[in-house]
Amino acid sequence: MSAPSLERLRTAGPGHVLPGRAAVEAHLAGSADLHAAPGTPPTATGAWLRRALDVAPPAAVWALHVQDGPGRDAALVLVDRVHATGTRTELLAGGGGHEASFPAADPALAARLGAALAREADRRGSSLHLTELPDDPRVHALAAGAGARVEDVLPVPEVRRPAEGEHLVSAGVRKNLRKARNRLAADGVRAELTFSTDPDVFEATLPELELAHRDRDAAHGVACPLDTPAGRAVWRARLGALGDLGRRELAVLRLDGALAAHVVAVRGGARHGVFEGCFVTRWARYSPGRLLEHEVLQRAFADPRTEVVDWMTGVAPETLLVVTGERRRLVVRRGRSGGPAPD
């Protein structure tokens, strides 16, 4: 984008700023279609944003909306958070490494939105850190309009539908899966696999999922986010948002009746998203996480509409059964008053 066009953007009329939770709730209620455009990731939909509002400081959330005629809108839902380096404006969409997005009719309108965002951030004295965004012309235009940098963050690993006659996983992985099943049989351990989209089943299983998270983090010697009321509330809100979409699926592998591994996924359309998954370490001998992951992949591709399974976050590829591609993601960064963005 040329310098003259940037200058025109920065002197254009301001966007409509909506401060506080009540104003943002009203915006979401009146703009449901805007936040449900085709291609919007589950973690940037209106359902996700409404749940995120429930666990964000009410006075710290705000939205920005620009319009250029009927059907030509662009919007951001944001939250100001205090960090060691000062106040930072972040997206309410995404979070926890999950993909964010924002609606914009086209790159030109996204650039106008970026210019309005920079003006409001300067007024608030905040830096910008809009992360986990797709590599999309609208994102680059937003950054250009705001005078911000675009940098890479961890890409999302993907598994694309194997060609007819191709195996889903390598010969080595298939051998390891057979070994795990043989151990189960030799030890007389009963395995039960279930898939469910029933909200009541999910709620009943939620305490076990929480224990699995705590077990995993304890095994790695790290603090579990669920050990704090705020962390637990955010986790539950995100899972609730996926339930609000009506496409949440819970896969559970039980060994001798006890939960050994689980996966929460989002079904629908060409892309099947794995939101979270973990296993209970006492069952590590039987590789329950691997066994369940393979079943989840097979089930996803049994649907002829599914072309891609992804992990919805920048998971390290070496921890997965198979990876055949990746999707680039970006962060838009700008320091206060246009200065260098803090690390």
SS (H, E, C) the chain: CCHHHHHHHHCCCCCEEEECHHHHHHHHHHCCCHHHCCCCCHHHCHHHHHHHHHCCCHHHEEEEEEECCCCCEEEEEEEEEEECCEEEEEECCCECCECCCCCECCHHHHHHHHHHHHHHHHHHCCEEEEEEEECCHHHHHHHHHHCCEEEEEEEEEEEECCCCCCCCCCHHHHHHHHHHHHHHHHHCCCEEEEEECCHHHHHHHHHHHHHHHHHHHHHCCCCCHHHCHHHHHHHHHHHHHHHHHCCEEEEEEEECCEEEEEEEEECCCCEEEEEEEEECHHHHHHCHHHHHHHHHHHHHHHCCCCCEEECCCCCCHHHCCCCCEEEEEEEEEECHHHCCCCC
Given this model, what pLDDT does residue 13 score? 47
Q: How far apart are CA 142 and CA 163, in angstroms?
A: 37
The confidence score (pLDDT) of residue 317 equals 73
Q: For residue 2, what pLDDT is reported?
A: 38
CA distance 277 to 294: 12
Q: What is the pLDDT of residue 78?
A: 98
- Which CATH architecture group holds 162-306? 3-Layer(aba) Sandwich (3.40)
CATH topology of domain 3-156+328-338: Aminopeptidase (3.40.630)
Residues in the chain, pLDDT under 50: 1-13
Q: What span, in angstroms and rounded, lies between the C-alpha atoms of 12 and 7?
A: 9
Q: What is the pLDDT of residue 8?
A: 38
pTM here?
0.89
Give start-end residues of each CATH 3.40.630.30 domain in the chain: 162-306
Residues 71-125: pLDDT tens digits?
899 999 999 999 988 999 999 999 999 999 999 999 999 999 999 999 999 999 9
CA dihedral sign, ordered 281, 284, 288, 293: positive
Give the CA distances from residue 155 to residues 132, 149, 266, in Å, rounded to whole numbers and listed in that order: 9, 18, 19
* Residue 260 amino acid letter: A
Taking CA 78 as the corner, what is the angle to CA 75 and CA 81, rounded to the nearest 5 degrees? 165
